[in-house]
């Protein structure tokens, strides 16, 4: 692409958005190159990029082009196609949602759109409830404020597969951003019935499905627990507080500065509940109100992070820690009340703690490990549904704070996660037990588990070559690693147990330890996940240090 010529074209034709037009007039040569040297890439995650003018940016033109490609794909595969649309609190999310709806309308595709911002799981739910051909969620998840994105879902309510993404990409690549894009005014679509607002009944049905995930089955729970909640200026406020209050949790304080939707995220520039600094204001509220539990959901409310009282302060729990707590709680309650389905199944990603496999085995639950990305967990639920066995699925989670306990949606659900965490907390509090005490019980029963993530950055073309060499060096094999014998090397590049091919390796080490290495799909990084089992925390940290030492020697 000749970026200077493309820039000139945009200066001529990109007049429909004042912000874009104004930015074009003030761009430096470096700005122009970065904004126009390529098209924003479309993959299984759809689009994600910095807001602004250019082919490599999120704006009404790149959104319209992507939607035209999606419309062509739908019309190639479906008669009377339809699409559900939702959006979060990010800058221009509502505008992008309406632009997408207008393009679909102009292509003869029926649109169901939420009348206000809604979480990602609500989009998945609407796709399934309305029997849509696809879904669009306008969000950049937990990225900083300068980003926005465009996620595409298939008819099952699951994020699109690689094959579908490639086919949609091919349709997009046939298009010119200013020529051949059909569009119609959003208001016209509302008037002619081709665009329809999603009913409140759909939203209520989603909330009811979340509440039905309860596994108390009549057992006592202290629902007067003191909860501080932050939606991080995103979509979680209404659904999370509604699900909790309708289930008897009344003692909830919402972090006022982060309560209302605001795409600038003024008090949490990185609105990711995995990051401790993001929860700082929530923790201040927790201390001020002497809360038992503090929780926060990311802007599109598909992830949830928590902190619990620990002496005079609060301790943040990792996604792995919350995941094993929820897994044990769900399994123990189902078993206690004879509610475990035949051949129950846990689904988790291969980089998620191996301790979950051992807990699941204890309860007679099959564990299915999938590639990184919750869409692969959703895909497994879909496989069960095809065989009319979706009731086998009892829980799925990933280490990056994503949880789902039912098959009513096909993506991680922060509303469900927040609800179950609060219920589990109330259940244990009624027994005089804390999360930290319960974790200690699990560690004593199944061994202490330590999971760490190590990232290595490799910029540019030379960096790509270096990452390829590193992956090959690990494929060449090790007899031992970090003082632990390598029992098996699982190479997902060849495809393993029906898992799609991926540039991922797992070294299974002695004594229930493992190491997973993979290049990031979105950043110039190699990510390595170390999982260590030991009798005590001190022993686990010592073992992890030895493995990490050799890892850093191998990756330099």
| Catalytically active residues, by annotation | 141
Q: Are strands 513-519 and 505-509 parallel, antiparallel or unpaired?
A: antiparallel
User: Tokens 């005590």 identify what position?
Assistant: 536
CA dihedral angle for residue 242, residue 306, residue 230, residue 143, rounded to 10 degrees? -110
What is the gyration radius of the CA atoms in the chain, in angstroms?
24
First-to-last C-alpha distance (Å) of the chain: 34
16 Ramachandran zone, left/alpha/beta (phi>0; psi -120 to 50): alpha
CB atoms within 10 A of CB 362: 14
Report d(CA 294, CA 292) in Å as an integer.
7
CA dihedral angle for residue 392, residue 395, residue 399, residue 400, rounded to 10 degrees? 110
Report d(CA 64, CA 368) in Å as an integer.
38
Q: Are strands 345-349 and 393-398 parallel, antiparallel or unpaired?
A: parallel
Burial of 143 (0-12, 13-18, 19+ CB in 10 A): buried
Assigned token pair, 431: 């027994």
Report d(CA 270, CA 250) in Å as an integer.
29
CB distance 299 to 90 below 8 Å: yes
Assigned token pair, 46: 């759809």
Report d(CA 309, CA 443) in Å as an integer.
19
Report d(CA 271, CA 302) in Å as an integer.
12
Report d(CA 358, CA 158) in Å as an integer.
28
User: Tokens 């909860």 identify what position?
Assistant: 227
Q: Are strands 147-153 and 47-50 parallel, antiparallel or unpaired?
A: antiparallel
Q: Are strands 505-509 and 366-370 parallel, antiparallel or unpaired?
A: unpaired
Assigned token pair, 40: 């924003």
Q: How many CA atoms lie within 13 A of 479 on its CB side?
A: 0
Report d(CA 56, CA 47) in Å as an integer.
10
Question: Which residues fall within 8 angstroms of residue 495, CB to CB, at 6 or more apart?
Answer: 501
C-alpha 420, offset from chain centre: 17
| Helix residue ranges per DSSP H, 14-151 | 18-25, 29-36, 60-77, 93-106, 120-129
CA distances (Å), 347 to each of 125, 160, 411, 493, 555, in order?
20, 18, 12, 20, 31
């Amino acid at each position: 692409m000749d970026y200077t010529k493309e820039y000139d074209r945009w200066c001529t034709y990109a007049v429909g958005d004042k912000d874009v037009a104004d930015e074009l007039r003030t761009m430096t040569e470096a700005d122009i190159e970065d904004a126009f040297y390529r098209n924003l890439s479309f993959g299984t995650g759809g689009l994600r990029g910095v807001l602004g003018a250019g082919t490599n940016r999120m704006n009404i033109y790149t959104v319209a082009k992507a939607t035209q490609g999606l419309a062509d794909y739908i019309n190639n595969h479906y008669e009377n196609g339809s699409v559900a649309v939702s959006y979060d609190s990010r800058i221009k999310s509502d505008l992008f949602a309406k632009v997408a709806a207008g393009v679909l309308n102009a292509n003869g595709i029926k649109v169901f759109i939420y009348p206000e911002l809604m979480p990602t799981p609500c989009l998945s739910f609407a796709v399934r409830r309305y029997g849509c051909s696809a879904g669009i969620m306008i969000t950049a998840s937990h990225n900083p404020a300068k980003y926005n994105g465009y996620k595409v879902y298939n008819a099952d309510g699951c994020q699109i597969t690689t094959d579908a993404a490639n086919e949609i990409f091919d349709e997009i690549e046939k298009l010119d951003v200013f020529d051949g894009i059909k569009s119609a005014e959003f208001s016209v679509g509302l008037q002619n019935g081709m665009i329809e607002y999603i009913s409140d009944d759909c939203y209520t049905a989603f909330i009811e499905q979340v509440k039905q995930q309860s596994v108390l089955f009549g057992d006592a729970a202290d629902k007067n627990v003191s909860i501080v909640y932050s939606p991080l200026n995103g979509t979680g406020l209404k659904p999370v507080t509604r699900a909790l209050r309708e289930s008897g949790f009344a003692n909830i304080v919402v972090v006022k500065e982060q309560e209302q939707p605001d795409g600038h995220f003024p008090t949490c520039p990185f609105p990711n509940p995995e990051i401790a600094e993001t929860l700082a204001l929530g923790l201040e509220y927790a201390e001020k109100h002497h809360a038992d539990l503090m929780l926060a959901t990311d802007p599109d409310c598909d992830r949830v992070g928590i902190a619990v009282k620990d002496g005079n302060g609060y301790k943040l729990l990792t996604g792995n820690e919350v995941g094993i707590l929820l897994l044990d709680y769900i399994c123990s309650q189902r078993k206690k009340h004879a509610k475990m389905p035949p051949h129950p199944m846990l689904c988790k990603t291969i980089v998620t703690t191996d301790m979950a496999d051992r807990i699941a085995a204890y309860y007679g639950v099959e564990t299915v490990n999938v590639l990184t990305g919750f869409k692969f967990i959703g895909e497994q639920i879909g496989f069960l549904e095809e065989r009319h066995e979706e009731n086998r699925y009892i829980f799925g989670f990933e280490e990056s704070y994503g949880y789902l306990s039912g098959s009513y949606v096909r993506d991680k659900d922060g509303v469900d996660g927040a609800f179950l965490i609060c219920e589990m907390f109330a259940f244990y509090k009624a027994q005089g037990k804390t999360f930290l005490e319960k974790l200690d019980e699990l560690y004593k029963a199944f061994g202490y588990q330590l999971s760490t993530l190590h990232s290595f950055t490799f910029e540019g073309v030379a960096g790509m070559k270096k990452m390829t060499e590193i992956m090959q060096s690990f494929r060449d094999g090790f007899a031992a690693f970090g003082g632990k014998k390598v029992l098996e090397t699982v190479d997902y590049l060849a495809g393993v147990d029906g898992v799609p091919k991926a540039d991922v390796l797992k070294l299974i080490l002695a004594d229930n330890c493992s190491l997973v290495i993979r290049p990031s799909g979105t950043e110039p990084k190699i990510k390595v996940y170390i999982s260590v089992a030991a009798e005590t925390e001190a022993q686990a940290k010592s073992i992890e240090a030895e493995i990490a030492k050799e890892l850093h020697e191998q990756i330099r």
